[in-house]
Structure 1
């Protein structure tokens, strides 16, 4: 008959070989002989945790700790089991006791970092991992954890260094290769990220998460067909992978395969009804096809998405949803997202006022002066200024739902934004009498998430500008290469030093015969003033530019120039050049 010590040794060998059930049986045989055998109690707890029986694991390890109160390994393993049960405070106490007992216990410091990440205590997690790698610089898992924690704090360069340290120690560390790819993606080093994902998949080809992440970066590289394959593989491996469905749906929307995008979003919502990303994606698919009655309700989920979560306003007053009477009420309409959104949707204040409400409009500070005289608005305040008393509120982009608007009853709004007359009067002396005058905007904010699709290099646009018209730049900011090129183009006049706010831009726009622009706030400004706007759109446009038409129900004087295929600006600019030349000749001979 084997002794207790021999059975423990046998169980440990089985454990090390990965035969956890056999190890568990050996430990239980030990405890039948000696119920207070520390190693058997402790290691049985470890095995139970590995079998997914964490409740029992906690009991077993706590029993072991009654025999050796300060055993660091048992305390750390107790923390693992408690963490699995989401008993975070208790797990942290266990880890703290472990590292107090053994300050150089690197694995306990690393495990503690994992827990602190779960608890959202990022700075403390970083510190815990740093203690781990200081205690044992050869512990690859601690470097990996440090890379994750640094990434949580958007310290991407430091995160990358930590992952590289982990992989220098353990070159076959598949998940570290994947997470390194995620960090490289955040650094916008997309080709390097792809290589990192490929290495991860060489080591672990059945990992759905890596296939999905690979799809994300392939999409960003414009390799859409390959991204489709990657997402399809992810979902084959993990059919209930909701995040992959949502990301795949975004890709399909960008490929303008809207039927597939809608199906993927609906599949995701069937599995996870409160997935805000799927709701928002579904809203965009319906809105871009003009199905507003289907789209606007899903669009309300935008406030639950990571991008807009911090922008939600938590007023004590109720949000108006269109059901309550506004007669005699003061309603606060507040801007959200970009300046272009505010310029597009502020016109709806008139419809709210027609329901008997006194309208207070809160807008971004650069728009306050411009919108001070907006029809239907009693008071305009800038975001950050004290708000007057109000009875209810509504975000501007929630108004179509609250008002029950459809494409058929969207009111035609011509020139609802008026420039300041005195500022308009100051421009003729600068501009001269030569006509026609064409305003130009070829790029938006570089930090905009879709800027790589919507903006153009000036070198590309200038090829579509025939001689004849006077071209005036309506932008205030320039990419370095564009700024250099602009100095060599006397046919385009810069006015950025004279454009101090939107009132100055509006005054300049007032003198343009028409405006050529990519999808930016200046395009909305010009269109809201009633100016003809020729809008250059990527193949997959923003949801407000409804597919299947070259005009916009929002702006009667707008003309849409759409890419016929992904990335095909050449066709757009060829048509633009022809139309500019035709319009110039018409106006020049009028």
Structure 2
């Protein structure tokens, strides 16, 4: 007869299960923990340790429930509370995790593992100060734990304490040299500290450790962008996107690289992709705003701005972007309201104050514009854009005394300038003696600016200077024999040695020009004789010749405001029996069928090889009718009868409220009576043309 079996040795079973567990034999350990629980369903150690095995096997919720049961049976188990906190953190239940870690620490205040877990979780919750305190204590208790040092570095980084973050991350890197995240985060802090030369090597080290690390590629791409290595930046961001197509940061980075490469349509596609991934990201919508502005997609820009307002009602960026869109749509009063809303949200937002000034300028409320732009400069004396806009507001009023002085701010505000800098040469400002000295006069901005201001060249020569005139390549042939110029070169040619330099747009300031002293003797442009003979033959006969240009270069930033659809302009062509000659190079896609259907129009664009040819064609015209493009300046400089059709708010050189131009005697200006009202201008020009043709001799 055998002896009756006694109760199971649960303590022995637990020791055996734990030995299997520590040796990584989970199956055996699980079976033994279950045997213990079969005998003692509420055994806290078996519940706790079986819960850990379940969590490690991916049965997270079952494991969490098991550990909670252990703690219900025996609440004074700090290790169980800490392990529960870790499981809850991994499950994304961070608030519950914090509570669990705090229970563990209430039982064992020097538990380095619980402190580390608490610090990690608080950092992920954005509770930076608390995270730093917990991780700082954990680092003291666990000085060889690199993950704690790394987490402390991130917590310090999040609080903007980058110098301390650097120290923590360098310590972490020494302890965990194979962890690619640490040099990545170190690079982020060094970038914030302005130590740009050390940033790229950190990101590259992260890529050595992990070649397929999207975050490192994104950050290295940003470094390349800052270094103006735009092609490299694009390539790095594309690599990041190939690895992680759903990366918002990579989409934004690629968009930024494409914007820098002047490819706004592709950039906008990237920003739209980022917004699909993260609809509330303000930076994604702000970047899209900039791309849409470049593309002049005002309606989409308006919709995007409204989305910013909806998602971020307390952010000044929303009404500010909405105001920009309204400016593009020509709704200037509404734009002013939105700029003011932006200022109410951020009273120091000088860009919004500047926007009010620009909107008022667009409404020809110039005195108010001057006040608003001056206020923007008071908010931010380094706002060079506001200074340049203030200059143009003063100039359009005819205040050349203040306006020309302030116009020099254009060099600091990103105005598109084509001039090659000459920092080695002193700038001539009008005071220095020029006798016997060679001065370089440089073109800047557009062709029209060059043709308007080149009139000052002979005045410079009259002061005894030897003038070297540097112009855009397309103007060199026309200006080759310009009076007073010792040498005419194009901006892509080598320069001779010079003593001084001045850009053409700064010459009015150098001469102290006022409205009444504008050098306005015309003509001042020579037409090369071979070109003149050729065009006299090309345009022989055919009745009154009227040169026309209804649109300018579509890439001009103000082209949407200055150009007229041919469908509207055609009423000028249909007003009188004349030979109309197209003197513009660019014809928009929408205008081409209209042009093809117009009778009496000679499309000579294929013959206009450079401005010498255009000048020769203009010289054959009885009248030139154009919008505010280079043709207006070319015809005016040749003293041909010229009518210029101007938007309501014109460029500063056309001034306000007058039908003539002090720059070009005999020129006639036709102005919009209200913003966008081209119909009134077209009707006025058509009526005037009928009268003009009636005065011409017949036959």
Note if 1:91 corresponds to 2:199.
yes
- 402-411 or 312-321, which deviates more: 312-321
Give the deviation of 1:104 after TM superposition: 4.3
Q: TM-score, normalised by structure 1?
A: 0.90
**For the structure 1 residues 493 and 63, does the alpha-carbon distance in structure 2 shift closer, same or farther, using more than 3 Å as the test?**
closer
Counterpart position of 2:9: none
Structure with bigger gyration radius:
2
Q: CA-to-partner distance for each residue in 1:436-458, whole Å, 9 max, x for gaps?
A: 44322222222222111112222
Contact 1:174 1:201 (C-alpha < 8 Å) held by counterparts = no
Contact 2:460 2:467 (C-alpha < 8 Å) held by counterparts = yes
Q: How does 1:375-454 map to 2 (within 5 A)?
A: 375-420=483-528, 423-424=531-532, 431=539, 436-454=544-562
Counterpart position of 1:239: 347
- 384-393 or 273-282, which deviates more: 384-393
**For the structure 1 residues 394 and 55, does the alpha-carbon distance in structure 2 shift closer, same or farther, using more than 3 Å as the test?**
same
| Cα distance in 2 between the residues matched to 1:96 and 1:503 | 54
Note if 1:534 corresponds to 2:658.
no
Note if 1:519 corresponds to 2:519.
no
| Cα distance in 2 between the residues matched to 1:109 and 1:424 | 59
Note if 1:5 corresponds to 2:118.
no
Contact 2:336 2:355 (C-alpha < 8 Å) held by counterparts = no
Counterpart position of 1:580: 689
SS in 2 for 1:368: helix
| Cα distance in 2 between the residues matched to 1:125 and 1:291 | 45
SS in 2 for 1:440: strand
| Cα distance in 2 between the residues matched to 1:67 and 1:372 | 71
| Cα distance in 2 between the residues matched to 1:276 and 1:67 | 49
Counterpart position of 2:432: 324
| Cα distance in 2 between the residues matched to 1:31 and 1:433 | 93
Q: CA-to-partner distance for each residue in 1:381-421, whole Å, 9 max, x for gaps?
A: 33334434433222111111111111122233122224345
Give the deviation of 1:248 after TM superposition: 4.3
| Cα distance in 2 between the residues matched to 1:490 and 1:396 | 41
**Which of 464, 467, 481 is matched with 1:359 structurally?**
467
Contact 1:4 1:30 (C-alpha < 8 Å) held by counterparts = yes
Q: CA-to-partner distance for each residue in 1:106-136, whole Å, 9 max, x for gaps?
A: 4444444444444444444444444444444
Give the deviation of 1:555 after TM superposition: 0.8
Counterpart position of 2:306: 198
| Cα distance in 1 between the residues matched to 2:266 and 2:694 | 58
SS in 2 for 1:142: helix
| Cα distance in 1 between the residues matched to 2:331 and 2:695 | 42
Counterpart position of 2:371: 263
Counterpart position of 1:28: 136
Contact 1:175 1:200 (C-alpha < 8 Å) held by counterparts = no
Gaps of 5+ in 2: 1-107
| Cα distance in 1 between the residues matched to 2:211 and 2:518 | 68
Q: How many residues align?
A: 590
Counterpart position of 1:505: 614
**Which of 362, 370, 383 is matched with 1:254 structurally?**
362
**For the structure 1 residues 474 and 11, does the alpha-carbon distance in structure 2 shift closer, same or farther, using more than 3 Å as the test?**
closer
**For the structure 1 residues 355 and 229, does the alpha-carbon distance in structure 2 shift closer, same or farther, using more than 3 Å as the test?**
same
Q: How does 1:8-87 map to 2 (within 5 A)?
A: 8-87=116-195
- 322-331 or 227-236, which deviates more: 227-236
SS in 2 for 1:370: helix
| Cα distance in 1 between the residues matched to 2:247 and 2:638 | 63
**For the structure 1 residues 476 and 7, does the alpha-carbon distance in structure 2 shift closer, same or farther, using more than 3 Å as the test?**
closer
Contact 1:174 1:199 (C-alpha < 8 Å) held by counterparts = no
Counterpart position of 2:325: 217
Q: CA-to-partner distance for each residue in 1:527-561, whole Å, 9 max, x for gaps?
A: 11222211110111111101121111111111111
| Cα distance in 1 between the residues matched to 2:250 and 2:552 | 41
Counterpart position of 2:68: none
Contact 2:417 2:444 (C-alpha < 8 Å) held by counterparts = no
| Cα distance in 2 between the residues matched to 1:469 and 1:128 | 59
Gaps of 5+ in 1: none
